[in-house]
C-alpha cells in the first residue's frame, strides 16, 4: 500500500512541478498561485522562485519514494524524519489552498489533500 501511495504522491507532485515550470517559463497562470497576487505572467523574481519550487518539490517526491523503499535508497537516512516534515507541509498546503482568496487557486486544495493523505500513508507504514 505504501508503494502505491508513494507513486500517487509522486504523480500529483509531478503535476505541481509542471505547473511551477510553466510559471517559471512565463505562462500567464499567476492568478492560480500565490493567492492570485501576480495575475498573468510572474515577474522575474517570482519566476526564479517557481524554479526553486520545482527543485524543492522534486526533492520532496524523492524523500517520499525513499521512505516507501521505491527509489533513492541513499536518502533513507533522512527520509524517516523528512516524511513527517512533508506531512506537516501538506497539512499547511491543504489549508492554505482551501482558504486562498484566489478562487482558481483553490483547485490545488484537492491536489494538496491527496499529497497529504498519500504522504501520511507512507509515514505510518
pLDDT tens digit sequence for 62-97: 999 999 999 999 999 999 999 999 999 999 999 999
pLDDT tens digit sequence for 30-69: 999 998 899 999 999 999 999 999 999 999 999 999 999 9
In the chain, what are the domain boundaries? 2-124
Grid cell, residue 80, equals 524517516
Q: Which of 121, 116, 122 is nearest to 93 (CA)?
A: 116
Phi, psi (rounded to 5 degrees) for 19: -65, -45
The mean per-residue pLDDT over the stretch 5-9 comes to 98
The pTM (predicted TM-score) of the whole model is: 0.93
The mean per-residue pLDDT over the stretch 7-23 comes to 98
Please give the C-alpha separations between residue 95 and each of 21, 30, 67, 78, 122, in angstroms, as whole numbers: 23, 19, 24, 26, 20
DSSP 13-76: HHHHHHHHHHHHHT-S-GGGSGGGTS-SSPPHHHHHHHHHHHHHHHHHHHHHHHHTTSS-GGGH
Amino acid at each position: 500500500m505504501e508503494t502505491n501511495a508513494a507513486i500517487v504522491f509522486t504523480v500529483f507532485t509531478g503535476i505541481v512541478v509542471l505547473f511551477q515550470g510553466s510559471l517559471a517559463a512565463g505562462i500567464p497562470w499567476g492568478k492560480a498561485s500565490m493567492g492570485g497576487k501576480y495575475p498573468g505572467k510572474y515577474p522575474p523574481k517570482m519566476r526564479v522562485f517557481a524554479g526553486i519550487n520545482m527543485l524543492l518539490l522534486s526533492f520532496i517526491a524523492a524523500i517520499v519514494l525513499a521512505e516507501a523503499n521505491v527509489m533513492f535508497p541513499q536518502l533513507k537516512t533522512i527520509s524517516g524524519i523528512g516524511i513527517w516534515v512533508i506531512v506537516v507541509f501538506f497539512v499547511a498546503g491543504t489549508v492554505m489552498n482551501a482558504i486562498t482568496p484566489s478562487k482558481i487557486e483553490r483547485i490545488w486544495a484537492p491536489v494538496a489533500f491527496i499529497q497529504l493523505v498519500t504522504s501520511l500513508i507512507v509515514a505510518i507504514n
